[in-house]
Amino acid sequence: MLETPPLTRTRVGLAYGVAAVVDVLQFSLGPLGWAFADEILDVAAMLVMWRVIGFHPLLLPTFVLEILPIADVLPLWTGCVALVVALRRKQQGSVQRTPGPPAPGPIIDV
C-alpha cells in the first residue's frame, strides 16, 4: 500500500488552494456545467489531492457527490480537504503523544 505523505504547511496549502479553485470553477460553471468540464475538474482534483495529502476514504464519497448536478456547486472539495487534514493531524498527534516507558528511578508504592 502507498505510504501517506507527511502533512507539511506547503502540502496543506496546496491542497486547500486546489480545492478552492476547483470549487470556484464548478460554482461559476453553474449546476449543469459544460459538457464534461465538471467531471474533468473532479477527476483532476481527486488525483491532485491523492498525490498531495495522500489517499483517504473521504475522497471517494466526495468524488461521487460531485457527480450530482446540484451538489457540484457546494464547496465539497474544500470541506473534504478540511476533514482529511483535521483527521490526519489528529492521527499524527496521537501517534506523537504515545507515552513511552517510564524513566528509570525509584518506585514509590503507597
The residues near 98 (Cβ < 8 Å, ≥ 6 apart) are none
Cell of 102: 517510564
pLDDT in tens, 7-58: 899 999 999 999 999 999 988 887 666 778 888 998 999 999 999 999 999 9
What is the spatial distance between Cα 102 and Cα 30, in angstroms, rounded to a whole number?
Answer: 59
Model pTM above 0.85: no
